[in-house]
Amino acid sequence: MKEFYTIDEINCSELKEIVDKVSRLYNLFPGFVIKVDSIKSAWYTQWGTILLPEPPEGTKLPDFNKYFLLLGLGYHSILPATELNRLIILAAARRTLGNYSSEVHGSLLSVLCLFVIFAKLSNQKHISSIVKESIEGILKSKPTSSTPLGSILREFYEFVLGRKISSKTMRIINVALADMPLYAKAKIFFRELLAEIDTLDPWSLHERELRKYLIPISANEVMNSDSIPISLQEMEQLSEIDYDFAKEVAKKLDKQLEIGKLPIKEPAFSQDKTILQKMLNRRRYLAAARRARIRAILSLIEEKIIEIEPQTSRYGFCEWYMGDDEEKMNIEISADTFGRVIPDVSTLQDLREIGGDLNSLERSIRHMELVIDTSGSMSDDPIERAIDVGMALVEIAKKYGMSVGLSTFSSGAWEGVPPTFNYDAIEEIILRLDSEGGTNIRNVLSVVDNHLSSLYDRALVAIITDTAIYDIKFPEVINSLMNVREKSILVFFAITQKLWEKTEDVLKTLNIPVIILPPNITECEEIEIIIRELTRISQSTVSANDPL
């Protein structure tokens, strides 16, 4: 028996007519592949495919095939219709249903889609009679349901046919058809459904009922496709809804993009002073997912900086007129400066009272050097927190016109960007960082030294790490840290609850300040700590450099 058919290969005129009608109604290109599969085990795992339980033979379709054809067309045209919508509903299912299996998530995702599909198709005058005819056939051929979920489905079909149903099921249907954001709708729908079902255990009983009426959509993070059916902008949208889920999806999509490329596996230690960091042409979706979350962090930075922005009060005269006393006003009166105060500085009119803490940061630091640990121990939450810190520091540098340099270390060192004012390039690279390999800091310190040697201004070197640095007590590392400390303000940002003992000993011995950022703190707390501690460090630096 043939398993796959293109629309052109099918002789069934009714099938072609239904595909044509739905495609015209919803602006679909009718280039579907029809696949024959068992409704007891089949899943929708690929866009562009419609699943039928029986081969489409003859000129007329049996009600069974007609119903599943409408369901498949509805998946493509009404809900989910796009990969983004499928992922949004799946995110809601995972959040609401919790620890149930992916089969449960995918099946209940499909129930929501089914409600919306057949409710909408039944109201389309060009196809409503076909829809109701197929549903009548399904109800006649299936016995009474033995589970609460099966009963709700049968009542839904009664509703589509215009018959009276219970108020409880009507409430669930009203949620499915409500005009509200999809994520909110899906979460409410799943909660209402669970309230009526009471329990989904054992799932096998519910699944047996569901399989009479639907072929569910896959709950995998990525659907099979010849091309990736979600854009970077859509990934940002998904990240704004559920960042953790978006990150899972993004990593799988990026892995799919890397198929065919040579894998890069970092050793525990590399003698090379520069190693290849996997980014830029890779991890595009992961960067998009992170970008949405970072926007919230950047707004927090702006908010916290504004709270302590230097306050300026202007005294004296802002304008003058003929006959005013030049000496009293402390300005130069001439034809060139008629009616206004020029120059803008060094006159009474420009005397200011300056307050606020970050002013000391601006006066003491003119370059921000970021050194980010991307070793294997930074996987998951630590690398995400390191990215947060890196982005926050770049934004502070941008705010005060500092140059920025970037390097990373794991098995070896990678010179990301030498000192630059191209903040966008730095941020784009930081967003694509990932973690792998050993933790050896020795080579990156020579990269930092090279960057500092090209500067004339005071720099802050921020080493962002979980502090589990294998070679931290090596003599060459200690000497390099001392050298960097002499040339700059050296600060460790520790992404950990507790410092690694060897690193703690070295930092205490060398009197290097540490800013501890536990992985479990909130983003707001993190930004407050960064700004507060940087201010404290910069103030102490300014005080130390001020003449007595």
Is residue 264 within 8 A of residue 359, CB to CB? The reply is no
% of the chain with per-residue pLDDT over 90 = 55
Token output for 274: 């520069």
pLDDT at residue 352 is higher than 60:
no
Q: What is the pLDDT of residue 226?
A: 63
- 211-244 pLDDT, tens per residue? 988 999 999 988 876 666 789 999 999 999 999 9
Q: How far is CA 114 from CA 68, 86, 107, 134, 283, in A?
A: 11, 13, 10, 14, 35
Close Cβ partners of 311 (under 8 Å, ≥ 6 residues apart): 353, 354, 355, 356
Measured N-to-C along each axis, helices 83-97 and 232-241 cross at an angle, to the nearest 10 degrees, of 20
* Cis ω for the linkage preceding 518 (within 30 of 0): no
State how far the Cα of 105 lies from the Cα of 19, in Å rounded to an integer. 28
Q: Could you tell me the pLDDT band of residue 269, with boundaries at 50, 70 and 90?
A: very low
Q: What is the pLDDT of residue 478?
A: 96
Q: What is the pLDDT of residue 294?
A: 86
Q: The domain 231-311+355-548 is classified under which CATH number: 3.30.750.80, 3.40.718.10, 3.30.70.250, 3.40.50.410?
A: 3.40.50.410
Per-residue pLDDT, averaged over 481-507, amounts to 94
pLDDT at residue 546 is higher than 60:
no
pLDDT at residue 373 is higher than 70:
yes
pLDDT at residue 486 is higher than 80:
yes
State how far the Cα of 142 lies from the Cα of 67, in Å rounded to an integer. 13
Least confident of 17-26, 354-363, 372-381, 488-497: 354-363
Per-residue pLDDT, averaged over 388-397, amounts to 92
Query: What is the residue-averaged pLDDT of the chain?
Result: 84
Report the SS3 class of residue 264.
Answer: coil
Q: What is the pLDDT of residue 548?
A: 39
State how far the Cα of 448 lies from the Cα of 434, in Å rounded to an integer. 20
- The single-letter DSSP state of residue 322 is T
pTM summary value: 0.78
Q: What is the pLDDT of residue 458?
A: 86
pLDDT at residue 347 is higher than 50:
no
HSE-CB for 12 with a 13 A CA cutoff: 22
Q: What is the pLDDT of residue 229?
A: 79
- 428-472 pLDDT, tens per residue? 889 988 888 888 899 899 999 999 998 888 899 999 999 999 999
Angle at 414 between CA 411 and CA 418, to 5 degrees: 155
% of the chain with per-residue pLDDT over 70 = 82
In the chain, domain spans: 4-210, 231-311+355-548, 321-354
Token output for 380: 């998951």
pLDDT at residue 311 is higher than 80:
no
- 44-54 pLDDT, tens per residue? 999 999 999 99
Please give the residue that has the higher pLDDT: either 199 or 345.
Answer: 199
pLDDT at residue 365 is higher than 70:
yes
Token output for 254: 């990026």
Find the distance separating the first CA and the last CA of the chain, reported in whole Å: 94
Q: What is the pLDDT of residue 135?
A: 94
Q: Could you tell me the pLDDT band of residue 342, with boundaries at 50, 70 and 90?
A: very low
Q: How many residues does the chain have?
A: 548
